[in-house]
Amino acid sequence: MSTDYSRSVRLGGLAAGVDEATLRERMEDSQIHLTADGRLPAVAETLVVLVADLRRWPVRLSLDPGRGPRQLNDELIRRLVETTTGIDPDRPLHIGEAQGNAPLHLHVGTAPPLGTTVAGAPDGHGVRLRHTGHPFPRLNAPGTGLGAVLTAAMLAGEAFKVVAGLPKGKFQVTPVVDFCPVLPGQQPGIAVARLPPLEQVLLGGGGAIGTGIALILDLLQVSGELTVVDREVFEKPNVTSYSIGTLADATLGLPKVRLIDERLRRIEVTPFHGTIQASIEAVDAGTLPWPLVVLGGLDSIDARHDLQRLQADLTLDGSTGGPAGTTVALHEALPTGPCLRCYFKANHTGKSAEQRLHELTGIPLSRIARGQEPLTERDLECLDNQQRELVGQFLGRPVCGLINSAELTGRTDDGFRPSAAFVAQQAACLVVGAWIARSTGLVSGPPRRIEYDTRFGPRPDQMIDRRLPSPGCVCQKDTNLISRVRESRRARR
């Protein structure tokens, strides 16, 4: 089974303004070479994530383990090789010196060798990035799992600018980057030694951002309990856009909630394979715990509005988007406002995903409503020849996961913007950073909206704004009803 690079190539094509065939050819001609300081705290975590992010593109990838006291150990090399093989067995990680002419050289550490284009190192929960010629300061704290993922994602972002061939004006090279998603306006180096356990927390969405959140929580060695809600299964296109999962997982068609459950080794996960609406009904029936904190990684306005209807004490929503799918954002929401409806206005004129799928494929809306049931030959009987050809390639898959797969065939373009792992990971870092900040008291005050485009990098002086409730929003008009709902759910705990 070959690796499906359609999503990463599509995002690169959108960002570079070229067709996907041109972008894929450009990527396949690209060589990325890695080196690292084996003594750097969190170097293993950073390298595993970075190697996986880069292997999710059809590039040539090599790693020099180095020599002497800073050499990478054999066990880490084995993990890196296994990581790349799980994503694409046909493009192995080359161990040794760089192959080909003028490779892009990335280094994990603060003392990059000659020829390095850009180097990065986790500093506590944050990252320090330096292009050639710009020295690193002394790190303030050992790198954490959050700092490791952010460092890997930002190094991959720097590589993306080069291998995708972004044109002038579509990106910015920032020679010095110092950023912490816990305290975005301050220098890196924050490292909470003992993170609180997850208590009555729900993760809404097991897609690109949701798997990024799960990856970070795992690397931070967080404990506790977590409810994970998602209705879809893990498929081939997800392998190159999600932070966890292999080709073997895609072959099995694992529910995304199970994929996350298997990854979170220290957390007691309650997987809920269904919609957010169904999870709300389960909460009100007393069969699912009511969350006090919600971490969101959803990709539609309607789903976010449903997530808000859980009426948790705090909702931390992560998103990707923008013209090229490279913009990341955090939205902090409260039941008293601003809520997610304040941030994301309802689109009363746009068509639902179900309606678009019906128009694209001819599948009846009544059948689409039974989204968890796998597509069968019988479902093809009422379709015309063209529709049958399109839908037939998805036999055996749940209908609920079909809309994005159908769009990726190139037969429609309704604004769908695929994410890339390095982009979604930066959104996930904002979510987990906000959870750390709010749960430990490092940040208080009004809810924040944080946003930046990964092609240009975080800009602490202009990426954060405080939000107030929108006048006329449901959270302002129905305060008494929301209060009664919360009291009812609190009584069932």
CATH of the domain at 339: 3.40.50.720
The whole-number average pLDDT for the span 381-385 is: 78
**Per-residue pLDDT at 351:** 64
The whole-number average pLDDT for the span 181-187 is: 92
Task: Give the rounded distance of the alpha carbon of 204 from its chain centre.
Answer: 13
Q: Is the pLDDT of residue 164 over 50?
A: yes
Q: Judge if 145 and 65 occupy the same domain.
A: yes
Residue 284 lies in a domain: yes
**Per-residue pLDDT at 353:** 66
State the number of CA atoms in the 13 A half-sphere of 279 facing the CB: 28
Q: Judge if 116 and 265 occupy the same domain.
A: no
Q: Judge if 209 and 140 occupy the same domain.
A: no
Which of 176, 147, 144, 171 shows the shortest CA–CA distance to 159?
Answer: 171
**Per-residue pLDDT at 102:** 74
Q: Judge if 41 and 77 occupy the same domain.
A: yes
Q: Which of 144, 179, 214 is the last residue of a domain?
A: 179
Q: Which of 4-13, 151-160, 422-431 has the lowest mean pLDDT?
A: 4-13
DSSP three-state, residue 107: strand
**Per-residue pLDDT at 460:** 79
Integer Cα distance of 249 and 87 in angstroms: 10
Q: Which of 138-152, 169-183, 370-384 has the lowest mean pLDDT?
A: 370-384
Q: Judge if 93 and 231 occupy the same domain.
A: no
Task: Give the rounded distance of the alpha carbon of 209 from its chain centre.
Answer: 3
Question: Tell me: the pLDDT tens digits for 43-81?
Answer: 999 999 999 999 999 999 999 999 999 999 999 999 999
Q: Judge if 275 and 333 occupy the same domain.
A: yes
Integer Cα distance of 271 and 288 in angstroms: 10
**Per-residue pLDDT at 407:** 44
Q: Judge if 429 and 470 occupy the same domain.
A: yes
Residue 236 lies in a domain: yes
> Cα angle at 385 between 379 and 388, to 5 degrees?
35
- Edge to edge, the sheet with strand 60-63 lists 94-95, 60-63, 31-36, 104-108, 118-123, 126-131, 176-179
Give the range of the structural domain holding residue 106, as residue numbers without chain letter: 6-179
Whether residue 319 contacts residue 295, with contact meaning beta carbons closer than 8 Å, is answered with: no
Q: Is the pLDDT of residue 290 over 50?
A: yes
Q: Is the pLDDT of residue 413 over 60?
A: no
Q: Judge if 284 and 169 occupy the same domain.
A: no
Q: Judge if 160 and 218 occupy the same domain.
A: no
**Per-residue pLDDT at 138:** 96
Q: Which residues contact 212 (CB under 8 A, 6 or more apart)?
A: 149, 242, 243, 297, 421, 424, 425, 427, 428, 429
| Cβ atoms within 10 Å, residue 378 | 8
Q: Is the pLDDT of residue 128 over 80?
A: yes
Q: Judge if 24 and 145 occupy the same domain.
A: yes
Integer Cα distance of 457 and 459 in angstroms: 6
Task: Identify which has the larger pLDDT, 14 or 454.
Answer: 454
Q: Which of 5-19, 171-185, 250-264 has the lowest mean pLDDT?
A: 5-19
Q: Into how many domains does the chain fold?
A: 2
**Per-residue pLDDT at 87:** 97
Q: Which of 179, 214, 249 is the last residue of a domain?
A: 179
Q: Would you place residue 153 in the very low, low, confident or very high pLDDT band (cuts 50, 70, 90)?
A: very high
Q: Is the pLDDT of residue 350 over 70?
A: no
Percentage of the chain beyond pLDDT 70 is 94
Q: How many residues does the chain have?
A: 493
The whole-number average pLDDT for the span 392-417 is: 58
The whole-number average pLDDT for the span 344-364 is: 73
DSSP three-state, residue 108: strand
DSSP summary character for residue 380? G
Q: Would you place residue 395 in the very low, low, confident or very high pLDDT band (cuts 50, 70, 90)?
A: confident
Token pair of 157 as six digits? 């972002």
Residue 193 lies in a domain: no
Strand partners, 293: 201, 314
Number of DSSP helices (H) and strands (E) in the chain, helices first: 18, 15
**Per-residue pLDDT at 312:** 97
Q: Which residues of 300-331 are buried (b: 16+ CB within 10 A; e: fewer)?
A: ebbbbbbbbbbbbebbbbbbbbbebbbbbbbb
**Per-residue pLDDT at 190:** 82
Task: Identify which has the larger pLDDT, 206 or 410.
Answer: 206
DSSP three-state, residue 331: strand
**Per-residue pLDDT at 414:** 41
Q: Which residues of 32-43 are buried (b: 16+ CB within 10 A; e: fewer)?
A: bbbbbbbebbbb
